[in-house]
């Protein structure tokens, strides 16, 4: 229940993403006082089959001379301590959380290391460097795909294990933390190419607004007129599929006082269809428009309906498109810009949900179900629905720019200390997200949802995806990430 | 907004239910629930007849499955103003 503006600061995943993100950002800022509080972070190396050793596959981000296993253990201990503190504050079952977290963490790193094997990862022009005669050139995307696949196998074929892991498999929490870490990266990008970032942000807002004004009414009308759904079911479904998935479905259902079963059913559809989008869209966009990286990224942000799946799909698209461009277009784009296009768009959508829930609540209470002496709608609803991790993302972004703008030496020191946070820590959270999304996705839940699932599929692939792509193309066509 | 009474609100899959230590009101729609709540308040005499009572309904988030709670942690709460007019007074 939300009674005060600060409700939930210690007990929600949204806020804990902010606290974890800020903790690591402050750890990197401490480098300005000569401390090294981020160099312990482990990171995987590209390695070649037949030449496996810990030194070959792992290293510490900054601590020269540390044994890679020590770096990995410290990484495990730091993140276990922080996530357990959060889990305790959020009143999770701590024993189950620690056990599940440990298994997820170990699996994540094993998959991540496997995905770094040169035959899977390196581009064609680096085959000679690693002594390869063949390779798939999938970039870092293979690690993500593998994590997703392993997660889906567990979630659908080993349901007992999935149940055991579920206390710790929190893709939305992991991805929101990663997005706060990404605030550093967009800060770095803003220092490198302020004009491009400004254009990306402004066109992102415009594209979001245009798409949003089209999506909701079309899907609502389809639900009412073609599928003859009730007003509340149509509204909840329209919000879930048009805006930001589960959060929007629940916000809308709460705003219009719908029976709880409606957002629950829509949420199941959102989560399962997000998985299809995550599997299909990055490869599809890479194949049909290999020379439109920012359009593709933005179209993903407008189409994929959970933060976890959107960021995960954006990361995969970033890897696939860069690998493809290097192999077939002869250009090396900088990492992260396509992902950023996807996330920037999604974040505007997320920010808008509070306002939309408020507007819907007004319409429902004062027009659709008007009754004498009925409940009032408070402006605080906007704040309660506002995604708090966005505050962390914006705070880190602007703090980074502010600090780095004070001088080149300070900028260099901060950049070095922040690299493990926006690099390997962020990628690790992405990997945990991919694995967790798979673990909590149970396709058998679609059974018995025929009419709603059909409407969802038609609306998603027949309306949302094409309009999203057209809008993204109008606003972003021709925009290119900086080349190396 | 200050409330005269706080109740726990759930949906059991069929109807809305408002729980209080002194009564249990229910209804298929929220309007039905409010009417039944008015009846319960009149029956239990927690407040004098012919007064206006503000009831705060706190939605019990346990109605939402655990796995969804990571996406959203708030459903809705309601402030409702009820006129406690007994059938006798209403008829006058």
What is this model's ipTM? 0.86
**Domain interval for residue A131:** 13-476
Is it the case that residue A406 has pLDDT exceeding 70? yes
Question: Within a 13 Å sphere around the CA of B27, how many CA atoms are in the beta-carbon half?
Answer: 15
Report helix, strand or coil for B25.
Answer: strand
| DSSP secondary structure code for residue A439 in this structure | H
Q: Which residue has the higher pLDDT, B69 or A3?
A: B69
Whether B3 has its CB under 8 Å from any CB of chain A: the answer is no
The two tokens of residue A395 are 């705070």
| Residue A399 neighbours by CB under 8 Å, 6+ apart | A25, A29, A187
Per-residue pLDDT reduced to its tens digit, A157-192: 999 999 999 999 999 899 899 989 989 988 888 888
pLDDT exceeds cutoff 70 at B89: no
SS3 (DSSP) at A119:
helix
* B74 to chain A: closest CA residue: A1
Q: Which residues of A82-116 are buried (b: 16+ CB within 10 A; e: fewer)?
A: bbbebbeebebeeebbbebbebbbebbbebbbbbb
Residues of A in contact with B31 (CB under 8 A): 369, 371
For residue A111, give Cα distances in angstroms to A162, A434, A448, A465.
Answer: 17, 11, 34, 31
Structure tokens at A336: 């992260």
User: Taking CB atoms and an 8 Å cutoff, what residues of chain A touch B63?
Assistant: 260
Residue A267 lies in a domain: yes
Residue of A nearest to B60 (CA): A1
Lowest mean pLDDT among A90-94, A315-319, A373-377, B43-47: A373-377
Of all residues in chain A, what percent carry a pLDDT higher than 90?
50
What confidence score (pLDDT) does residue B87 get? 60
Read off the pLDDT of residues A234-268 as tens digits, 9 standing for 90 and up.
Answer: 999 998 888 878 888 888 888 888 998 899 889 88
Q: How far is A401 from chain B (nearest CA, A)?
A: 30
Q: Given a cut of 60, is residue A273 above it in pLDDT?
A: yes
How does the average pLDDT of chain B come out, rounded? Answer: 85
Look at residue A483 and tell me if it is in a domain. Answer: no
Q: What is the DSSP code (8-state) at residue A334?
A: P
- In whole numbers, what is the pLDDT of chain A averaged over residues? 88
- Three-state SS at A39: coil
In angstroms, rounded to a whole number, what is the distance separating the alpha carbons of residues B31 and A368?
13
In which order are the strands placed within the sheet that holds B23-27? B23-27, B16-20, B5-11, B51-59, B77-84
CA distance A483 to A474: 23
* Per-residue DSSP letter, A336: T
Residues A327-349 have pLDDT tens digits of 888 899 998 899 999 988 888 88
3-state SS record for A340-368: HHHHHHHHHHHHHHHHHHHHHHHHHHHHH
- Inter-chain CB proximity B70 and A172 less than 8 Å: yes
Picking from A455, A442, A468, A465, the residue whose alpha carbon sits closest to that of residue A161 is A442
Mutate to test the interface with A, among B7, B29, B58, B76 (most CBs of A within 10 A): B76
Please tell me which of the candidates B63, B68, B79 has its beta carbon nearest to residue A246. B68
Confidence check: pLDDT of B88 > 70: no
Lowest mean pLDDT among A4-8, A419-423, A437-441: A4-8
Is A484 part of a structural domain of the chain?
A: no
CATH dotted code for B5-86: 3.30.160
Q: How confident is the model at residue A40 (pLDDT cuts 50, 70, 90)?
A: very high
* Model confidence pLDDT, tens digit, residues A13-24: 889 999 999 999
pLDDT, residue A289, reads 95
Beta-bridged to residue B56, according to DSSP, are B6, B79
A301 touches chain B (CB under 8 A): no
Which among A2, A8, A250 is the nearest to B71, CB-wise? A250
Q: Which of B7, B35, B73 to mutate to test the interface with A (most CBs of A within 10 A)?
A: B73
User: Is the per-residue pLDDT at A448 higher than 80?
Assistant: no
What tokens appear for A235 in the block? 């509204």
Contact B30 A257 (CB under 8 A): yes
Average pLDDT over residues A427-431: 93
Is A95's Cβ below 8 Å from some Cβ in B? Answer: no
pLDDT of amino acid A151 = 94
Is pLDDT of B41 > 90? yes
A166, A264, A374 ranked by CB distance to B80: nearest = A374
Closest partner residue to A376 (CB to CB) among B64, B71, B79 is: B79
Residue of B nearest to A163 (CA): B67
How much is the pLDDT for B90? 47
Best residue of A9, A250, A357, A442 to probe chain B, by most B CBs closer than 10 Å? A250
Give every CB contact of residue A483 below 8 A, 6+ residues apart in sequence: A331, A332, A333, A334
Q: What pLDDT, in 10s, does the model give residues B63-85? A: 888 778 777 777 888 888 898 87
Closest chain B residue to A436, measured at CA? B67
Structure confidence at residue B92 (pLDDT): 41
Largest CA-CA distance found in chain B, in angstroms, rounded: 53
Q: What is the dihedral of CA A198, A199, A200, A201, to 10 degrees?
A: 50
Q: How many domains does chain A have?
A: 1
Task: State whether residue B71 sits within 8 Å of chain A by CB.
Answer: yes
- For residue A3, being part of any structural domain is answered with no
Whole-angstrom distance, CA of residue A174 vs CA of residue A124: 33
Give me the residue spans of the domains in chain B: 5-86
User: The tokens of A41 are what?
Assistant: 């972070």
A196 pLDDT exceeds 50?
yes
Rg of chain A over CA atoms, in angstroms?
A: 22
Determine the 3-state secondary structure of A240 from DSSP.
Answer: helix
- Cα radius of gyration rounded to whole Å, chain B: 15
pLDDT the model gives residue B91: 41
pTM of the model: 0.82
Q: What is the pLDDT of residue A2?
A: 54
Contacts of B79 in chain A (CB under 8 A): 375-376
Q: Percent of chain A beyond pLDDT 70?
A: 97
Kindly determine whether residue B71 and residue A172, on different chains, have CB atoms separated by under 8 Å: yes
């Amino acid at each position: 229940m939300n009674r005060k503006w600060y409700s939930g600061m210690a007990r929600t995943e949204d806020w804990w993403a902010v606290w974890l993100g800020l903790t690591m950002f402050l750890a990197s800022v401490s480098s300005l006082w000569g401390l090294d509080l981020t160099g312990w972070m482990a990171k995987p190396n590209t390695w070649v089959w037949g030449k496996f050793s810990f030194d070959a596959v792992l290293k510490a981000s900054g601590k020269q001379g540390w044994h890679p296993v020590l770096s990995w253990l410290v990484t495990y201990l730091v993140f276990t301590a922080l996530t357990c503190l959060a889990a305790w504050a959020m009143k999770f079952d701590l024993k189950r959380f620690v056990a599940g977290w440990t298994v997820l963490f170990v699996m994540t790193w094993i998959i991540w290391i496997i995905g770094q094997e040169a035959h899977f990862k390196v581009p064609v022009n680096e085959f000679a460097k690693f002594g390869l005669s063949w390779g798939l050139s999938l970039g870092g995307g293979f690690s993500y795909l593998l994590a997703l696949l392993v997660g889906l196998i567990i979630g659908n074929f080993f349901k007992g294990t999935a149940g055991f892991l579920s206390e710790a498999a929190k893709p939305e929490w992991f991805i929101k933390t990663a997005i706060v870490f990404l605030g550093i990266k967009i800060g770095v990008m803003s220092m490198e190419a302020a004009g491009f970032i400004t254009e990306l942000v402004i066109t992102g807002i415009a594209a979001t607004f245009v798409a949003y004004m089209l999506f909701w009414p079309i899907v609502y009308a389809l639900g009412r007129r073609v599928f003859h759904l009730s007003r509340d079911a149509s509204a909840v479904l329209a919000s879930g599929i048009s805006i930001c998935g589960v959060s929007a479905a629940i916000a809308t259902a709460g705003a219009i006082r719908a029976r709880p079963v409606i957002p629950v059913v829509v949420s199941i559809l959102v989560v399962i269809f997000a998985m299809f989008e995550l599997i299909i869209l990055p490869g599809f966009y890479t194949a049909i428009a290999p020379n439109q990286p920012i359009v593709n990224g933005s179209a993903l942000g407008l189409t994929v309906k959970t933060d976890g799946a959107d960021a995960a799909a954006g990361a995969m698209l970033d890897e696939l498109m860069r690998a493809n461009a290097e192999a077939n277009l002869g250009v090396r784009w900088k990492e992260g810009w396509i992902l950023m296009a996807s996330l920037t768009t999604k974040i505007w959508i997320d920010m808008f949900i509070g306002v939309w829930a408020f507007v819907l609540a007004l319409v429902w209470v004062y027009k659709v179900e008007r009754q004498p002496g009925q409940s009032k709608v408070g402006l605080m609803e906007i704040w309660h629905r506002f995604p708090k991790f966005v505050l962390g993302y914006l705070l880190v972004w602007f703090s980074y720019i502010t600090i780095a703008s004070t001088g080149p030496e300070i900028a260099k020191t901060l950049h070095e200390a922040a690299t493990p946070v926006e690099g390997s820590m962020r990628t690790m959270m992405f990997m945990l997200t991919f694995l967790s999304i798979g673990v909590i996705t149970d396709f058998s839940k679609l059974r018995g949802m025929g009419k709603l699932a059909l409407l969802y599929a038609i609306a998603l692939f027949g309306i949302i995806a094409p309009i999203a792509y057209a809008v993204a193309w109008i606003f972003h066509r021709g925009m290119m990430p900086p080349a190396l | 907004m200050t409330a005269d009474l706080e109740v726990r609100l759930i949906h059991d899959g069929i109807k809305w239910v408002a729980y209080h230590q002194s009564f249990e009101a229910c209804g298929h729609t929220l309007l039905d629930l409010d009417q039944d709540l008015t009846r319960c308040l009149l029956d239990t005499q927690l407040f004098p007849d012919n007064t206006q009572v503000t009831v705060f309904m706190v939605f019990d988030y346990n109605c939402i499955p655990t796995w969804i709670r990571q996406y959203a942690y708030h459903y809705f709460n309601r402030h409702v103003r009820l006129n406690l007019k007994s059938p006798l007074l209403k008829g006058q």
